[in-house]
Structure 1
């Protein structure tokens, strides 16, 4: 695997999914993400970013939830799948993320340029 795009795709495939509590957006705060992941998201204005930060929300959180759900960053996908980032409502996948995959995600985050979503 050479490109960040391939690394992201591989990691995404290994993150378990689960059903969230309807209407909950506890994981939708401001986060940082890699430049590669950010390039997949719609560009928001400085005013939109400022308004979201003032509410401690993600700029891509809309009235009906995440507006970029299919392209949400790895950190967003990781929330609720590991005891280190547990869902406050107790939602979780049947099987939590494999610790090796979780470590690889944290390594990817630590070794790529991060920008504020």
Structure 2
């Protein structure tokens, strides 16, 4: 099965976002975010009750007691937190080398051109 154009863009951008270790136990950036429909299709569905409870708590429906339950498939916006001055980690963590400005711009371009839905 071949990947859609959006899947290819997502995979390419994911490879260009530097990884870093979060502060253990911190989930400060795990609030309500939007993601493309393509990214959402990669995530398990949550019930309306779970989604509403997370929104009421200003949290993410994929945040579990031990952290992100969809870490490997987390949306681009989640991966971008802490890697760029425009989305700094609230606790000061981040990679040695920040994401390239062109990559950040491409992520924002992708978000603007795709249908975004609340995670």
Pick one of 20, 39, 56 that aligns with 2:41: 39
Alignment of 1:28-107 (within 5 A): 28-107=30-109
CA distance in 2, matches of 1:58, 1:14: 24
TM-score after normalising by structure 2: 0.96
RMSD of equivalent CA atoms: 1.1
Correspondence for 1:16:
18
CA distance in 2, matches of 1:27, 1:71: 16
Q: Which runs of 5+ in 2 are unaligned?
A: none
**Retained in 1: the 8 A contact 2:30–2:63?**
yes
Equivalent position SS for 1:84 = coil
CA distance in 1, matches of 2:37, 2:86: 24
Q: Which runs of 5+ in 1 are unaligned?
A: none
**Retained in 1: the 8 A contact 2:29–2:90?**
no
Q: Deviations over 1:73-111 (max 9, x none)?
A: 000000000000001111010000000000000000011
User: Aligned residue pairs: how many?
Assistant: 117
TM-score after normalising by structure 1: 0.98
